[in-house]
Amino acid sequence: MQEKNNTYCGFVAIVGRPNVGKSTLLNHLVGEKISITADKPQTTRHKIIGVKTIENKQAVFIDTPGMHIRQKKAINKEMNRAAKSALRDVDAVIFVVEALEWNDEDSLVLECVQHVTCPVFLVVNKVDMIKDKDKLLPHLSSLAEKMNFKEIIPCVATLGEQVQIMEQKVFAVLPESPFFYPADQATDKPLSFRLSEIIREKLTRSLNEELPYALTVGIEKIEQTDTQLIVHAIIWVERPSQKGIVIGKNGALLKHIGQQARLDMNHLLKTSVHLQLWVKVRENWSNDKKALKNLGYLDSDD
């Protein structure tokens, strides 16, 4: 007799060096903004789950921090550790690279994915950036020699190009299993985390040089009134001079960040949000393990 109601479910790690488009891809795969993105390396700092359920199949995608080599602070070690740990016990891997590029950090990621036993899909992202399209095929052939990839899929994550095809191919390798998440749940992260990340995205996009790496955001309190949600957030920086830059002349930059973040929060929560932002100094937080723990950077499940 044919079995009814079989379900398929599995974990799918999205890995790659910084800035190749992993989080952009995750958001397109899930169909919702789950993970923040910016045109700077090391934007994602945590493993972030995005769940996509279609009928009797569920893929639990894990976005990861870009694996990197040169930075040596405690937070960088933690990010690399989180990315590597995402490869444990997964059912498929999406390894993202940038079209026509290959560097030491891609090689580091390759070394890690060569050890997994599940199918590895190579996604060659940003093909829209290629000026001479004739270069793509030879590039794909050279990538095919690096390991036995299940598939090599060129893609434009920002436009969602080829993302549906990728989804079909990944869904086809999910094992038979009960669902891990309710069908209507899109991420594992609590609201406070999502709100803090929205603020960090606006800061990362607005600030230059080292400043995005010197700050983190914590949500102190969320209050519900009759008419709106009041979110109290602290932006932590490492030095007093950085505080002044984040606030800006007459508070202009902080106001701009607040306006941008509030729009995204209104959209996410479908309610009016009032955002209270403070900037405080916590010396050397990014290289201090105790501070990292307090600020939510040490995942307990790794």
Q: Which is nearer to ligand GTP, 57 or 126 (CB)?
A: 126
Residue of 8, 9, 17, 23 interacting with Mg ion (CB under 5 A) = 23
Restricting to residues 219-248, which ones interact with Mg ion according to CB under 5 A?
A: none
Nearest-angstrom CA–CA distance, 269 and 271: 5
Q: Which stretch binds ligand GTP (CB under 6 A): 120-128, 207-215, 274-282, 291-299?
A: 120-128
Q: Work out what residue 204 binds among ligand GTP, Mg ion, none; the CB cut-off runs from 5 to 8 Å by kind.
A: none
Stretch that binds ligand GTP, among 130-138, 153-161, 268-276, 289-297 (CB under 6 A): 153-161
Q: Which of residues 165-224 bind ligand GTP (CB under 6 A)?
A: none
Only segment of 35-43, 103-111, 115-123, 293-301 that touches ligand GTP (CB under 6 A): 35-43
CA-CA distances (angstroms) from residue 18 to 7, 116, 195? 34, 21, 22
Segment 96 to 115, residues that bind ligand GTP, using CB under 6 A:
none
Residue 39 found at the interface with ligand GTP (CB under 6 A): yes
41 versus 248: smaller Cβ distance to Mg ion: 41
